[in-house]
Amino acid sequence: MKHYFTLCMVIIFAVTAIAVSSEIDGKWKDKIKGPMGETEIEFNLKAEGNILTGTVTGPMGEQSIQNGKIDGNKFSFETQMDGNLISHKGMIEGNVMKVSLAQSGMEFELHRVVETIDINGSWIGTLSMPEGGMGMGGPPPEGMKITFVFEVEKNSLKGVVKGPMGDMPISNGKINGSEFYFDVNTGGMAMGHQCIVQGDSIKMQITGGPGGMGMTLKRAEKQ
- pTM > 0.75: yes or no: no
Fold observed for domain 2-20+116-219: Lipocalin (2.40.128)
* Largest pairwise CA distance in the chain: 71
Q: Which residue has the higher pLDDT, 39 or 128?
A: 39
CA 1 to chain centre: 35
Q: How does pLDDT run across 132-165, given as a tens digit for each residue?
A: 444 444 444 456 789 999 999 877 899 999 988 7
Q: Domain segments of the chain: what residues?
A: 2-20+116-219, 26-112
Please state the rounded mean pLDDT for residues 6-35: 60
The reply to whether 2-20+116-219 and 26-112 are identical in fold is yes
For residues 161 and 166, give the distance between their C-alpha atoms in angstroms, rounded to a whole number.
8
Res. 170: pLDDT tops 90: yes
Which CATH number applies to 26-112? 2.40.128.20
| pLDDT above 80 for 130 | no
